[in-house]
Structure 1
Amino acid sequence: MIRQSVSQHGLVDRGDGVRLAYARLEGKGPTVVFLHGFMSDMEGGKALALEEHCRKAGQAFLRFDCSGHGKSEGAFTDGTISRWRDDVLVLLDQRTEGPLLLVGSSMGGWLALLAALARPERVKGLVLLAAAPDFTDWGLYADFTPEQREALSRDGQVAIPSEYGPDPYIYTKALIDDGANNRLLRGPIAFTGPVRLLHGQQDPDVPWTLALEIAEKLTTQSVRLHLVKDGDHRLSRPEDLDLLCSVVGELTATIGN
């Protein structure tokens, strides 16, 4: 019988006094690491479903909040793709050991790809849900109205209404400028491990065709795409979570210790 572990919660200083909140389970490798999306956190349905799946399987697991999100410290408006990528690397380096399977949702998919490029010796596989690499390029500035572009230039940030809650999304000029320095889709994405892409075809935020582009850019030959015809951006319905846990279970078995 597998002994089910209890999640350990804590804070880790990223090196400048800003502390990042995390929760982890001890268990067998590879460690499954969940990376949340823009203005989301580690308490969402996908993160918690994965934690329960890993607890039952005796699998090591880590979830955390990037700076300015959830229970982590720091101002959200100070965040950039580079800053949040570095947050990911701090948690990987200080709170995990051995091989890793990164699970990234939306912006977390972009961060997972960047982390895989930064830690190729440790990241052995990727599961990307509605992954949104380069979204600051194709999904933000390109769609801004002239008034929003003027506000961005004048104020250094712009507020856009959100369909997922009462608070608007805040996009800063620093975020958009930094995103341009972290583009991935203009050339090959050098990763050799297995990758599984999950995407809802009713996603109003990230077009499902982007998953095809990511698959094409990845250098690995082990890529599978799961399209959910009636799935939305969140992919958080019970059947979506079952698919996610099944895919993660398959890859943890493939990667092994």
Structure 2
Amino acid sequence: MTEFLTTPQGRRIAYNRLPGTGPGIVFLGGFKSDMQGSKALFLQDWAAAQGRAFLRFDYSGHGQSSGDFEEGCIGDWAADARAAIEALTEGPQVLVGSSMGGWIALLLARGLPDRVAGLVGIAAAPDFTARTWAEDLTDAQRAEVTARGRIEIPSDYSDQPYVFTRRLFDDGAQNLVLDRPLSLPFPARFLQGTADTDVPPAVALALLDHATGPDLRLTLVKGADHRFSTPDCLALIAASVADVLARPPA
């Protein structure tokens, strides 16, 4: 059953929560996705079968939560995630972050270290706004963002384009994780498809190279795309979560 949490910032966040043993699992969705996606629902069913606590939610401006997507930014969505974890879970959690959710998970690992037992990144996209600005936009598109405050970029996954705002770019630059040391003192598993055109394998390799920790692993799946939601990919996600849970705490 969907419930709602009002965050300290006054945003109304929709969530679904399963009771169970800890460490619990928290699913962090991607940019413009919601908690009804195949990976979130698959993990909820898996957690239920394990008797494991599980939480999924919609960031503000996403899904059933309050707010306008175009007014949001990485800092807002990271704050939503922190509020959900602090209010709706107990003890350390295993964070499972998909795409932008991988960036959010890394921000939580930095800002809320005592509540993170482990991390699984699925096509994690740390600092993607900075890469989009520097590498994907033309000079004309950057000028459009500066002048109009927004730009539309076609999406491979929807008829509706992605909207990138100047606030999203400006705030993203204040929430980078690859521009300074990134300590992950817990088991972390990064899963990446070689056919992912949204978050290329080079991003996963750079993240693995940059982060420090006692138990970091990257798995490349040949031919998998950004969705990473085939039956084999979903099984690999569950196996990775199980592996993290089986590791002794740091």
- Write out the 4+ residue segments of structure 1 that deviate beyond 3 Å after TM superposition: none
Whether the aligned pair in 1 keeps the contact of 2:47 and 2:54 (CA below 8 Å) is yes
Q: Distance in 1 between matches of 2:239 and 2:12?
A: 33
- C-alpha change, 1:92 and 1:29, in structure 2 (3 Å) is same
1:200 maps to which of 193, 198, 215: 193
- C-alpha change, 1:244 and 1:230, in structure 2 (3 Å) is same
Whether the aligned pair in 2 keeps the contact of 1:125 and 1:255 (CA below 8 Å) is no
In the other structure, the counterpart of 1:62 is: 55
Structure 2 unaligned segments of length 5 or more: list them: none
In the other structure, the counterpart of 1:181 is: 174
Task: Name the Cα RMSD after superposition.
Answer: 1.2
Q: Deviations over 1:1-45 (max 9, x none)?
A: xxxxxxx42000013432000001000001100000001111111
Q: Distance in 1 between matches of 2:139 and 2:110?
A: 36
Whether the aligned pair in 1 keeps the contact of 2:181 and 2:211 (CA below 8 Å) is yes
Please, what TM-score do these two structures have when normalized by structure 1?
Answer: 0.94
Q: Deviations over 1:131-187 (max 9, x none)?
A: 110101113443112332222112101111111011110000011011111111123
Q: Distance in 2 between matches of 1:122 and 1:178?
A: 24
The percent of aligned pairs where both chains have the same amino acid is 46
Q: Which SS does the other structure have where 1:60 is aligned?
A: strand
Q: How many residues align?
A: 249
Structure 1 unaligned segments of length 5 or more: list them: 1-7
Would you say 1:83 and 2:76 are equivalent positions? yes
Which residues in structure 2 correspond to 1:145-160 (within 5 Å)? 145-160=138-153
Would you say 1:30 and 2:23 are equivalent positions? yes
- C-alpha change, 1:255 and 1:33, in structure 2 (3 Å) is farther
Shift of 1:109: 0.2
In the other structure, the counterpart of 1:3 is: none
Whether the aligned pair in 1 keeps the contact of 2:133 and 2:142 (CA below 8 Å) is no
The aligned amino acid for 2:223 is D
Please, what TM-score do these two structures have when normalized by structure 2?
Answer: 0.96
In the other structure, the counterpart of 1:4 is: none
The aligned amino acid for 2:173 is A
Q: Deviations over 1:73-126 (max 9, x none)?
A: 111111111111100000001000011000000000000000111111110100
